[in-house]
Structure 1
Amino acid sequence: MKNLPFILLFILASCKPAPKTEVPTETEIDPSVYKMWEDFIQANPGFKNEEIPESWFFHNNQKDADRLAELVVEGKKTASTGLYAWYEEAGADLPTVGTKHIITNFDGTAQAIIVTVQVDTVPFNQISAAYAAIDMGTEVDALAQWKKAHRAFFQNTLEESGQKFTEDMLVVCEVFKTLWPQEVLYEIKLNERSVVGVSPDSLQLEAMESKWGEEDYFTAMDDLMWYSAQMMDLLDSLQIPYINTERRRFKIVTPTERLEVDNDTPEGGWRYFYFNGETIAGKDLFELLELK
């Protein structure tokens, strides 16, 4: 994909017209791109002989470019889609598993390193709700949103070249994962009975919905998000840095399954938050704790 026209990069997440954007030249690359790659290589020396990946941003405007980059960093957006016809017309190979890219925001500042893990060719009208969710970065009405946005984008782009969009056109579905920033958890030591803050889309929690029941599950998620906000306010007031570039993903911790973490952060302080409670389902047990 290195010499692919940028339209094939732009379509990784773009769903609006005007796909005119360029991969930055070497002289235009922001220093943060080199710094991110250096940090990645230092932490993963097995990749030290690889060339620095191409860097680019999603979409063609700051709002969408920054929003989509954030979804990638958070691990919510893990797929992208383009028309198979574009690859044919460009005489280009399909995306290759193992290819890395550096995603930037609209200003070119490096945000994440991704790697392609799966590539499939599927008719537009056979896209699944599960795939739409990881492409759109949300599970809320994902398939309808995906079809509406991509249909409009594909129609507008094809019309520019005198072609017509059809519902059975082949699309290239590229699934990727975020390699960097790493998914790192830090803790503020409180006591042995703690539960780390969780987000509603955390993979560890999806399996808990059937165990708890839908009502308890979503009520617990609401409680957790509220307590997350309260704890972050507390950390702010104590001037404790709790988020830097780490991906904000979470894990449940029980007294018998302690989370091993590294407290040697760049700022030299603890950087995560916990909640007291015997179980997440025990919503009434949640209690903000003073830091020790």
Structure 2
Amino acid sequence: MASCKPDPKTQIAAPQKIDPTVYAMWEDYGQAHPEAKSNEMPESWFFHDNQKDADRLVALVINGKKRASSGLYAWYQEAGADLPAVGAKSIITNFDGTAQAIIEIIQVDTVPFNQISAAYAAMDTGTEVDALAQWKKAHRAFFQNTLEESGQKLTEDMLVVCEMFKTVWPEEVLYEIKLNERSVVGVSPDSLQLEAMQFKWGEEDFFTAMDDLMWYSAQMMEVLDSLQIPYINTERRRFKIVTPTERLEVDNDTPEGGWRYFYFIGETIAEKDLFELLELK
């Protein structure tokens, strides 16, 4: 289970074509965070060196389980590159270059390989199950393979650059309503998903579904306004329906209009089930 960041030498050499989804994701982030609009788009890259691991690791980033990445200090020395700076952002892609998430570095440490902690290993691997042993096994193999290219060998006291980060995009929810520690969450698709849906279903089905989505949103807002419940606007990219009594996972092939990509989550509002309030039961 490797979870290594690419060698800086690889990132600096021969730039590759950037996928359009990378630009689109950065534009979406800028729309939600106007203060970032004037900033240069950050670098985009994927974890590891193969499709299986790259796609698995970025999925762990999106769901919040992976919150760290490791590289050798020697890589930065050889490349003449600066260590990552706190506050720096990166756009993480899957192996084919499609943008999946934006991360922001919150802490950078240099730690000898043999002094990596179990807590850090869990942040990097995305699991707390035997995390340190898994981290050492995977990273020892990955680091040694890269060092062999220059005739070097991994030593137990070799410095590791430990980057800790948070996922800043996609954000958590489209809107969240809290009442006595109970919450209802509604979710809408982002621009990349809207484009994919329109391509898959065709314009007629797509716009019919969008009408459904807008109707459910309007009904929800009316209920909240009538109960004088405030809501907070943010964004998210997960689609499912959750009620207090049942959980229905929804995929893009479900035929029931807006259910394909809209959901509410919560217990009750004013002692009534949300779907009761919306007259959807």
**Do both proteins adopt the same fold according to a TM-score greater than 0.5, normalized to the shorter chain?**
yes
Which residue does the alignment assign to 1:272?
264
The answer to whether structure 1 residue 66 and structure 2 residue 55 are counterparts is yes
1:195·1:275 contact (CA, 8 Å) conserved in 2? yes
Which residue does the alignment assign to 1:181?
170
Which residue does the alignment assign to 1:267?
none
State the AA in 2 paired with 1:38. E
Which residue does the alignment assign to 1:266?
none
Q: Distance in 2 between matches of 1:91 and 1:233?
A: 48
Which residue does the alignment assign to 1:33?
22
Q: How far 1:183 sits from its partner (Å)?
A: 1.3
The answer to whether structure 1 residue 98 and structure 2 residue 99 are counterparts is no
Q: Distance in 1 between matches of 2:77 and 2:123?
A: 25
User: After the TM superposition, which residues 135-174 of structure 1 pair with which residues of structure 2 at under 5 Å, given as runs?
Assistant: 135-174=124-163
Q: Distance in 2 between matches of 1:114 and 1:274?
A: 28
Q: Distance in 2 between matches of 1:230 and 1:142?
A: 34
1:11·1:81 contact (CA, 8 Å) conserved in 2? no
The structure with the largest strand share of the pair is 2
Aligned length: 214
* More displaced stretch, 228-237 vs 132-141: 228-237
Which residue does the alignment assign to 1:113?
102
Q: Distance in 2 between matches of 1:43 and 1:187?
A: 16
Out of 66, 72, 81, the position equivalent to 1:77 is 66
Unmatched segments (≥5 aa) in structure 2: 186-242
State the AA in 1 paired with 2:133. A
Q: How far 1:152 sits from its partner (Å)?
A: 1.1
1:187·1:273 contact (CA, 8 Å) conserved in 2? no
**1:88 and 1:233, CA in 2 relative to 1: closer, same or farther beyond 3 A?**
closer
User: After the TM superposition, which residues 181-220 of structure 1 pair with which residues of structure 2 at under 5 Å, given as runs?
Assistant: 181-184=170-173
State the AA in 2 paired with 1:166. T
Q: Distance in 2 between matches of 1:228 and 1:136?
A: 33
**1:187 and 1:101, CA in 2 relative to 1: closer, same or farther beyond 3 A?**
closer
The answer to whether structure 1 residue 231 and structure 2 residue 227 are counterparts is no
State the AA in 1 paired with 2:263. R
Aligned identity (percent) is 64
Q: Distance in 2 between matches of 1:193 and 1:87?
A: 47
Out of 132, 135, 152, the position equivalent to 2:121 is 132
1:186·1:272 contact (CA, 8 Å) conserved in 2? no
Q: How far 1:11 sits from its partner (Å)?
A: 5.0
Q: CA-to-partner distance for each residue in 1:78-118, whole Å, 9 max, x for gaps?
A: 11111111111222211111111111112211111111111
1:124·1:169 contact (CA, 8 Å) conserved in 2? yes
1:56·1:108 contact (CA, 8 Å) conserved in 2? yes
